[in-house]
Structure formats: C-alpha cells, structure tokens
A and B are shown apart, each in its own frame.
Chain A
Amino acid sequence: MRAHKESSKQHSYGGRTMLVRFTLNGESKVEEVIPNETLLDFLRRSEKLTSVKRGCDEGACGVCTVLLNGKPVRSCLLLAVQVNDAVITTVEGLANHGELSEIQEAFIEKYGFQCGFCTPGMILVTKALLDERADPTVEEIKEAFEGNLCRCTGYEQIIESVLRAAELRKR
C-alpha cells in the first residue's frame, strides 16, 4: 500500500514533507509533515489542538506538555516528524463523549486551576502519574510536577486535585 511504503522513507531533503503515522487522542492519523516544525506547532496549527500552549518554546515552563506513549514530554522540544508510530495524548483526548474524566472532575472540585494556562499540562502529568502509580504520596506528586510551572495557584490546590483524582479513580 502506498501509505505504508511512504512512511518507510525516513528522510526529507529540501524541506519536503514526510508521512507520519501516529495515534492522536485515540484516533489514527496519517499526516504530511515538514521536518522543521515542532510537535507543538504542528498540534496547534494542523490539528487545531489549542490546549497545547506555547509558554517559552524552550522546555522551561511545561505548558506545552503532551503525553508521548503515556509519558509527559515537552512538545516544543520534539519535531513533529519524530512521532511516527507513537501514541499522543492531549487534554482534548481525556473527556469521553462529553463526560469529563475523573482527573478533570477533580481539578474542578478542588480548584486546581486559576488562569488555566498551565492546566492542560498539569492534567496530563496527573494522568501519567496516576496511570503509573494509583496512590501517589505528596512527595511523589511534587517529583512528577517539578517541571510544570504555575504562577497563579501556588500549587497547593493542584496537589489536592491530584490526590482527589486518585480517590475518584479508585471507585
């Protein structure tokens, strides 16, 4: 099949696009991507996923966080062409047919947000953490979130939201 053959062509010269196949929020995608676009820009521009934010474009703030194969990464430090065969999750992929996930419910209940700009990243880090560890301690939570900056909340209610999310997921 042509698509399959194309994706085994692992180079791009002269700015040509490459075919990239990946799963995005549960959906299979096949896209033509130029090599010099970050995953961040690609997700925002091409996939219209505005929940993935640009805060600094150099990996120092965390608002561009997405899950790559379940693990948090900085989408501003990845090339879009690097996600071939990968599974990508953004916050748009968490709600299920209009029903909020437990993590989102917890963040609402426990006021884990104020301006909301860092919130998608925080929610994704929560998901990665709770998928790995159902009952994290506060110390473990702090370790997981140390690279996600927040200027509004002082982090307290974010920690409480994560703990609440863990509770809700156990039910």
Chain B
Amino acid sequence: MQLEYLEEVKKLLLGKSYSIVGKDVRRLDAIEKVTGLAKYTADQMVEGALIVRAVRCPYPHAVVKRIDKRKALKVPGVEGVITAEDIPGRNQIGYLAEDQPLLTTKARYVGDIVALVAARSDEAAFQGSEELKIEYERLPALFDPKESISSEIKLHEHGNIAGDVKVRKGDVEQAFKGCDLIVERTYRSGSQDHAYLEPEAALAIPQGYKGVTVIGTIQTPHRIRRILARVLGWQEADITVITPYVGGAFGGKASYGPVICGIVGLAAVVLGKPVMILYSRYESFAYRFKRGSFEIKFKSGVTRDGKLRGIQVNFMIDAGGYAVSALGFMPRAAYHATGVYEADNVKVDGIAVYTNNLPSGAFNGFGDPQMQFAVESQMDLLAEQLNMDPVEFRLRNALVPGARTGTNQLLDHSVGVKDLIEKVAKKADWREKRGQFANHKAKNTRKGIGVGCSWHACGTTGIRQDWAGASLILNSDGSVAYSTGIVELGQGTTTSHAMMVAEVLGIPFDWVRVGANNTDTTPDSGATSAQRGTIFGGTAAVDAALKLRKRIERLAAELLECKDEDISIENGEVYDINNGDQKISFREIAYEMYMRGLSPGEYGFIKARREYPDPETGQGDAYAAYTFACTVAEVEVDLETGHVQVVKLYPGVAAGKIIQPAVVRGQVVGCSLLGLGYALTERVLSCDGQILNRSYSDYLVPTIKDKPEIADLVCVEDEYRYSGFGAKGVGEIALIATPPAIVNAIHNAIGIRFYEIPLNVEKIYFAIKERASNGSRNEAITEV
C-alpha cells in the first residue's frame, strides 16, 4: 500500500468535490433486507440435508478414553457418528496458534466437541447424541489464570501459557523517579457475549468426486477455506466457501467460523451428503467463544505540569481452553496500552494463560475495551490528584501529528484525537455540566458526567501480514461487476466499496454491482474484522479502479484525440476538459474496449503499511493507521438501589474520510450500546467452567428502552493518505470509549470509583451504603 491513494484520487477527480463518496446512498442490501428477501445461512434450505449435532464433553478437563457408537447408530434416523479418527487431513483449526483440534480427544473446556452425530432430523440427532456412550477420564481443572500459570496441571503440551507480549520504550524506572505523582491500581475487565440475533449456522454440500461447498455465518471466507483444506487434506482449490448475509458478527463469527464450518465440511465429506448445523441459542450462549477477561495492573507517573511521563502495565488474560484469538488481542492491548496519549517511557508485559474456561474469542474492540477501561480510569485518577479537569489533562497529553506511540511508531498524520476531544467536550457542554451536576440536589439521585477516549488501530495485529484483494470487471455495457472478499455483516462496507469504485470510474453509483461472496470468484481480502473492511478492502477496490481508469483514459484520449490527463469522466460521460462539447458515453468506451481486445478487468491487491513489532521490545510500526473516539457520558445514579441510568451520550470519532455518514452514525450508535451493555448489564456468569446464562432472559442486552439520548455524532475527518479517499475504519472504536466514560461519570456522580467492568448493581449499592454509613459523603476517592 505504498501509493498515496488519497492523493491519486484527488488528482484524478481534478480536485472537485466527490459526487458519491461522503453522501448517503441507498445501501446495496437495503431492498433485500426490508422485504425479507435477504437470505442468511439458515434460509438456504437444501432438500435432504442431514442435521449434525455436536457432542460435547460435560467436564472442563478430561481425556476421552472410549467412544461406543453402536447404540447411537441404531437410533432411527441417525446416519453417522464422526470422531477425531475420521478426519482425513489434520485435526487442527487453531486461529492464531495450532493448539485447537476440531474434534478433540482431550477436552479442555466444558463443551469441547468430541464427536458429531448426523441424522435425518433434529430429534434423531438429539437422541443419537444422548445414546452415544463416551468414557472420560476426568482431570483436575483450572479456572483461575493466576493459579494456572504456576500449576503442575498441564493443559497443553507446551504448558499453560498461550503467549506473552512485551513493550519496552525508554526507561520507566528512571522516569518514575522523576515523577511527582504515581498512581497504581488493579483493574478487571470481564467477558461479554456477542448475542447477535442470528445464531451460528453452517451448511456443507459435497461436490463431485473431490469437492465441497460450505455456506456459513462467518467473517473470514478465505481463512475458512484454508482451514478446511487443512482438515480435509485437500487443496484450497477443492473447497468453495460461500458467505450469504450474516445476522450480526462483532468478531464472534470470526473466531467461531472454523468450528462450525469445520464440523459441516468434515461431516459432509465423510458421509457424502449435504449436512447442516443450526446452533440453538442455548448452544450459542453456552459454548461459543466470548470476549476474553483481563486483569490489569496499571502504574502511571506524571510530573506536576500534567505531563504523562511513563506507564508500567502488567496484564493477564484468561485465554480459556484454547488460545483462539488471544494471541491477537493480547498484543493489540499491549500496543495500545498508552491510550491516546504520548508517553516516552513504556513498559508493558502481557500474558495469555490457558484455563479450562470457555476459550476467549474475538469481540468488537479486541482487547481494547478491556485495556482502555484501565487507561481511562487512570487518566481520571491522575487528573483528580493533580487537581486538573479530566478533559484538560487529556488534551495536555493527547497524541498529535509528530508524536510517537508506545511502540515508537511515528504518527505523522491522521491523528485527529486532540481536535476530537475538544469538539466532543464542547458539544457536551463539559465544563458547565461538571459544575451543574455537582449542585444537583435531588434526594435519592446523583448526576455525573464523565469522559472516555479510545483508539483502535485498523488492520490485524502482528503474526500474519494484512493483505486485501479486489476484482473489477467492466461489462460491455459500462456497468461494473465488482467483487470483494469483505463480508457484508451489516456494516455497509460493500456499499462503500461500490461507491468508491463508481467515484473513481466516474460513473453513477447504481451502475456498480457487488458480487456474491464466493471464494471461487471473490479475491482474498483478508478477514472482515479489525476495522479493515474499508481502509484495506476499500483501498484494494480503489487500487483496481485506478488501474482500470488509466486504461479507459488511454482509450478515451485516443478516441477524443487529446491527452490522457485531460480526460474527465462524470456521471458516465467521458470528455476532454478542453473541449467539453465532445462527449463519449462510458458505455461506448466499455464496448470499444471489448472490440479492441483491451482488458476490461482489473485486480487490486494491497497490503497494510505496517511491520512486525520486535518480539522483545514491541517496538515497530505495529499498524497502518489508528482510529480515535471520544465519548462523554451523562449518568444518573439511584442511591437507594445502585441503579445507573445513562442519560445521554456524546460520541465522536476521528476515522478519516467518512464514506457513508448515516451508516457510520449507525455504527457508532450501535457500538455505543454494546459498550453500555458491557459496562452495565451484560455479565457473563460462569461456575466451574460452565456458562450459567444461556438465554436472552438471563443475559441482558440493552433494549430500546435502555438506549440513552444520543447527541449528533462529532466527526473529525483526519484523512489517512494511504487509503482510498482517506478513510479509516470505524466498526469498533465507539464501543471502547463508552464504558470508561460511564464509569468515570459514575465517579463524578457519587465519588466512588469502580475498578471492574461489567459493573454489578449490587456492588454499587453496597458501596454507596457503606460510604454513607461511614458518614463521609464527600470523600474524594473511595476504592472498590
């Protein structure tokens, strides 16, 4: 991605303002979704498909001694029982480490899949799994990462540590010596369930002699294809992965895609029949991988002038039975541990530890909601002890162009955070409200206002490189067949791609179609996650469109007898800027290309401008670009019950050029509610490795009545030079800023700080009660 795509696009469009990008268009998926025509995985009904059910180990840690299939196979309707020995290739579906079998012979979490039962009906599959006789040898189990780290009980061959990460910049010890104030606290950020409305589902259909088509609720079609090739012992070319519309994903379907697609792919090939799996909501809650929980020890040092001098962070992640995504979100959290602030001295040590809890997977924010909660709480604590306004303190330390991150990456442009904080604070009437709320004299409630900032880099972390492909074919009538591997999860990215393609080619938006996501025809654009769909997926689209445009201009120049650079294309009409009366239609040009044998197609392929941070120091250009957010939250706390109402949120993002304003607003509002849920109502409860809340009645996601008032979105368009149109990603950032804003607001309201999220209403209530009975209502800081 070495081209300055933003510059290229501007040059091309002769500095005119965009006619499509930046405006609201009718989304490409709109009509299908409002008419009910949109098909999701479970809507692909294949006659005669077998139903497969996962048979799971009920214990957190156990070896499978024996599986007796006989009774199960006798159940009417059961057509097969599949175990690890039936796997033709390698029994390995690990996402970032090879530690995770598809069907295990040693269970490492409650629900680890040991066998598959395929039957002609749900009931038969259910009964078949009940009749499957499995003998386990139970092993002692570990549920606390602190215990696991030094335990004799080995959960994996390579021990109990999934991985670790280090960041070393400057000299923190020295820096702390020179600090006037040091604050050190321990934070806990818990798990969270995606609870997307569409449960996991997948369907596999064997094709011909050696082939299989898999359709699933996934975010990473090409990775799924790679993993299936591994499991089946085939080539990637033997496998087709189709991704229909997905009903919400938030990262969960990235981590879990290999499991459900592996199941059906394997079963279909072994049994030679189409096979389908539809998770019940119970299975989705009980067994699907969730946000990883962190314990973070955070030490920050500042000098009296309010400058952050150093941070020292030690954090531990409960990775669960398998690492899955932990080796991605662990380093991400480490590389983001400074928060949106410049610190010259940084020491971060992070470790992901195996336990027999449910494996931790990807969830919107990917380590940052957990880490930034600690960062932003520290910032408020420091501000308070310095007697500085929290916003003022943040502005004093905020990253600016020319600053360096904790990994010593130079941020030379696209760093809009300081401007963003100022604008959001202004919109929220920050200073006035801080004063007002302090004087709020209702009997049983207190009001508070708090701020939270976040940053979240666009693109994947570390290990693998971050590439994206795009394919563009001009049809003979001038319409365009565009294809990307980026999945439409609801975030509207494929519409953004089409907009950018249309803008670059100079044609109306509705001349562009985005093809179905099918690995036979779509390029590998990498995962649809990590806020990368627009910045990288979209830049690949622009890459392809720019290349194609050059060829079109060449031909047009010849036909119009002028220079290439004098060609302008507007709304499907091609003309010489020096001779505006002579126009050719884009359609004519397209047809002429075919007639002359000039290639009407182009392939875009780019990789992110980033490297691999040094394993010992974490130093390096960890990511291509960073998106920023700032949210101010107003809360009201009921002193008698401990309940917290979030009254209003003021969100803001610095995400480069905004391609679709209304869509981005929707993303930010949606993410803000996810963040609100993470802070207040969404507690994943588990006991001895078993998830206890297994339904929407027991896992409380925000309803429409839980939505606070939301101010108009503040956008700072700090364009990134190396992406098409200067866009960055925005799909996760707002979630991260919301919980700290709320917790900081609660502190402002009642003078009590909480160091663990999700909050627990009882904890709040008893903390208030205890403080009241101690008689000190205006105590500066109480720690809970």
Contact = CB atoms under 8 A, between A and B. Distances in A.
B197 A155 contact: no
Contacts of A107: 34
B248 interface: yes
A114 interface: yes
B327 to A, nearest CB: 26
B262 to A, nearest CB: 23
B194 interface: yes
Interface in B22-41: 24, 26-27, 29-40
Interface stretch (A9-17, A51-59, A67-75): A51-59
B281 A111 contact: no
Nearest to A156: B669
Contact of A116 (B199, B280, B490): B490
A10 B674 CA distance: 47
A57 B35 CA distance: 22
A81 interface: no
A125 B651 CA distance: 29
Contacts of B24: 111
B31 A108 contact: yes
Interface stretch (B170-178, B266-274, B371-379, B700-708): B700-708
Interface residues of A, number: 51
Q: Name A's interface SS.
A: loop
A109 to B, nearest CB: 8
A51 B36 contact: yes
B107 to A, nearest CB: 27
Interface string A21-49: 00000000000000000000000000011
A115 B490 contact: yes
Interface string B693-718: 00111000111110100100000000
A151 B665 contact: no
B198 A158 contact: no
B197 A61 contact: yes
Contact of B33 (A56, A116, A141, A150): A116
A142 B705 contact: yes
B707 A156 contact: yes
Contact of B35 (A91, A148, A155): A91
B197 A117 contact: yes
B196 A100 contact: no
Contacts of A111: 24, 27, 662-663, 665-666
B197 A91 contact: no
A18 B370 CA distance: 55
Interface in B149-201: 194-199
A157 interface: yes
Contact of B666 (A90, A108, A117, A153): A153
A149 B199 contact: no
Which of B34, B38, B490, B710 has most A Cβ within 10 Å?
B34
Contact of A104 (B34, B492, B696): B34
B341 interface: no
Interface string B675-699: 0000000000000000000011100
Contacts of B674: 151
A49 B705 contact: no
Majority SS of interface residues in chain B?
Answer: loop
B489 interface: yes
Contacts of A53: 40, 42, 197-198, 247
Nearest to A52: B36
Contacts of A159: 704
Contacts of A113: 30, 33-34, 490
Nearest to B39: A50
Interface string A134-171: 00000001100111111111111111000000000000
A115 B489 contact: yes
Given A116-B490, A155-B707, A50 B43 contact: yes
A120 B702 CA distance: 19
A57 B281 contact: yes
A119 B33 contact: yes
B673 interface: yes
Interface bracket on B? 35 or more
Contacts of A55: 197-199, 281
B489 A119 contact: no
A51 B750 CA distance: 47
Contact of A60 (B247, B697, B707): B697
Contacts of B194: 151
Nearest to A119: B33
A56 B35 contact: no
A77 interface: no
Given A115-B197, A117-B248, A104 B35 contact: yes
Interface in A96-126: 100, 104, 107-108, 110-111, 113-120, 123
Contacts of A58: 281, 695-697
Given A108-B26, A115-B248, A151-B195, A120 B281 contact: no
B670 interface: yes
A117 B198 CA distance: 7
A104 B31 CA distance: 8
Given A115-B198, A119-B34, A149 B491 contact: no
B245 interface: yes
8 closest Cβ pairs, A-B complex: A51-B36, A115-B490, A117-B247, A116-B33, A114-B490, A154-B669, A60-B696, A154-B673
Interface of A: 48-58, 60-61, 63, 90-92, 94-95, 100, 104, 107-108, 110-111, 113-120, 123, 141-142, 145-159
Interface of B: 24, 26-27, 29-40, 42-43, 45, 194-199, 245-250, 278, 280-281, 489-492, 662-663, 665-667, 669-674, 695-697, 701-705, 707, 710
26 contacts: A51-B37, A53-B197, A54-B42, A56-B281, A58-B281, A61-B281, A90-B36, A91-B34, A91-B36, A100-B31, A100-B35, A111-B662, A113-B33, A113-B34, A115-B198, A123-B34, A141-B704, A149-B197, A151-B248, A151-B250, A151-B670, A152-B248, A152-B666, A154-B669, A154-B707, A154-B710
Given A108-B26, A115-B489, 10 more contacts: A51-B37, A52-B36, A100-B31, A115-B198, A116-B34, A146-B705, A154-B669, A154-B707, A156-B665, A156-B707
